[in-house]
Amino acid sequence: MQTLSTSLMFVSLLLAASCFSQGASGSATVQRVEVKSFDGTMIPVEVAIPAEKGPFPPVLYIHARRGYEDVDQSHVLQLAKAGFLVVAPDWQTGRMLERWPVPHDPITEKDVEAALSYLQNHPLSRRQPVGIVGKSRGPYYAIRLAAKKPNEIGPIVSYYGHMQDPNAPEPDQIYRVAPEISVIRSPMLMLVGEQDFEIRRINMGRAFYALWERGVPVEYQSYPLARRAFDFRRDQTAEEKLATDHAHKRSIDWLLRFMTK
């Protein structure tokens, strides 16, 4: 039986730096490129490259439906400074989608998959399963990829992630999780504020138990006093700033745990 590292409703803020194996202490550069999707549409992509000599463990960063913003750019750079080659597709701009789209457009999954292929074939990418960091709707793209390409997707970090098809009816959002949850094998770290939407926390909780029951490494971190999307709010409280720092460091630690030997 595989030994699992699981944490249910783990809410303490372990703020000592010694809790994490590596921080974002290096340096990195960012390039902006375009990747051709399946139908010829050009998708804007940011590539963050550590300053050290590669190859590097590859990470795909999938933004939320609010769009690719400065806080995303900062997070991508932080991941690269920690030693990861990071590719971050802007899955909205390439399709000229407005910010905050309510329905999910399945075509954008192909755009994210094109960015994944670009990352895998990048000359500085280490040949190994790709880690994914996703925000809000981003983790839904992640579980779709993990189900479709189980041997190519490694650990997933889900920030208040959607664990159900956003186009599914309301009863499914509350009482069921996406079918991909029943088949994926990718280790998953779930991060959420305790004051996030109840329906999102319920959905994430059901996914946590479904993964744990199947023996998939999974941890659920709930942050006290943290609201919806605690890491990018312009009106962050002092507690939410601490939660953001803790979450980012936990993300790095999770990726390193499953992506380095």
What pLDDT does residue 98 have? 86
Examine residue 1 and state whether it is found in any structural domain, yes or no: no
Residues linked to residue 260 through DSSP beta bridges, in sequence order: none
Examine residue 2 and state whether it is found in any structural domain, yes or no: no
Examine residue 193 and state whether it is found in any structural domain, yes or no: yes
pLDDT tens digits along 21-69: 334 457 999 999 999 999 999 999 999 999 999 899 999 999 999 999 9
What pLDDT does residue 25 have? 56
Confidence of residue 261 (pLDDT cuts 50, 70, 90): low
Determine contact, residues 94/38, Cβ cutoff 8 Å.
Answer: no
With 0-12 / 13-18 / 19 or more C-beta atoms within 10 angstroms meaning exposed / middle / buried, residue 159 is buried
Q: How many domains does the chain have?
A: 1
What pLDDT does residue 58 have? 98
Does residue 137 have a pLDDT over 70? Answer: yes
Averaged pLDDT for residues 72-85: 97
Q: Which two tokens stand for residue 216?
A: 């998939």
Cα 213 to Cα 69, 78, 160, 173: the distances in Å are 36, 33, 21, 20
pLDDT tens digits along 206-239: 999 999 999 999 999 999 999 999 999 999 999 9
pLDDT tens digits along 142-189: 999 999 999 999 999 999 999 999 999 999 999 999 999 999 999 999
Examine residue 206 and state whether it is found in any structural domain, yes or no: yes
Examine residue 197 and state whether it is found in any structural domain, yes or no: yes
Domain that holds residue 229: 7-259
Examine residue 191 and state whether it is found in any structural domain, yes or no: yes
Q: Which helix (H) or strand (E) is 209 found in, with range?
A: helix 198-213
Averaged pLDDT for residues 194-210: 96
Examine residue 165 and state whether it is found in any structural domain, yes or no: yes
Nearest to 149 by CA among 126, 194, 108, 180: 180
What pLDDT does residue 71 have? 95
What pLDDT does residue 16 have? 30
Chain-centre distance of CA 93, in angstroms? 19
Domain at 115, CATH number? 3.40.50.1820
